[in-house]
Amino acid sequence: MNKTRLEAFTDAVIAIVITVLVLELVAPESGSVAALWDLRYRFLVYLVSFLTLAIYWNNHHHLFQISRHVSGGVLWCNIVLLLFLSLFPFTTAWVNDHLLDRAPELLYGLTMLCADIVWLVMAKALVKENGHNSEVAKALKGFGKSYLSIATIAVGLLVGWFLPPATIVLCVASLAPWVVPDRRIERMLHEGTARAEGAAHEGGMRTQGPDKADKDG
């Protein structure tokens, strides 16, 4: 299957989710610096959610750049991933209203955990569809980053049952390996571009060869 519509749809949904996310930030009633300072934790949680969505989009973009084919299973995994990402405005707003309460923190962490699990399932489906010798299979070999993120968030949920803010802290920690997309993917993309440019240049030289011969003759 062609992946173009999947990528376009994902871009649109994440853009809408980020737009809805910022709408949850309500300006203070007064014009004082103190009133703005009172919203510092709201801005902090918003920033965490914004960065989370940005990191998902960035890695999604890189992952599908090296994926040549998608299957029906990949499409459904992507839809379920977007389902959990679309919940971030709701969970962010609830955490902001009840910053130190257990239920909002745990729901926030559970949403991110489910998104990470679906990402792992989707990544495995992409490997199956593109082949175990494909670029995507080589880039995702072992799925180590996904397993590390899932484990980190799971620990955050356990600790957060007793110390709610720990859930958000460990959710943020789980993002660290994903801030910079996999360098193997970057390398593959650069190598693919270089090969394409080399082939185009070689093809141009072959095309020019007979013309030059005709002129010389």
pLDDT given for residue 208 in this prediction? 60
Number of domains in the chain: 2
Tell me the pLDDT band of 202, cut-offs 50, 70 and 90: low
Residue 35, in any domain of the structure? yes
Residues 98, 203, single domain; the answer is no
What local confidence, expressed as pLDDT, does residue 204 receive? 57
Q: Per-residue pLDDT averaged across 31-60, rounded?
A: 93
User: What residue type is assigned to position 92 of the chain?
Assistant: T
Please tell me which residue, 147 or 216, carries the higher pLDDT value. Answer: 147
Distance CA 81, CA 60 (A): 11
**172 and 185 assigned to the same domain:** no
Whether residue 43 is contained in a domain is answered as: yes
pTM (two decimals): 0.84
Chain centre to alpha carbon of residue 94: 23
Q: Which residue has the tokens 């799971």?
A: 154
Position 8 pLDDT exceeds 90: yes
DSSP 120-159: HHHHHHHHHHH-TTSHHHHHTGGGHHHHHHHHHHHHHHHH
Mean pLDDT within 161-167: 94
- What span, in angstroms and rounded, lies between the C-alpha atoms of 63 and 74? 12
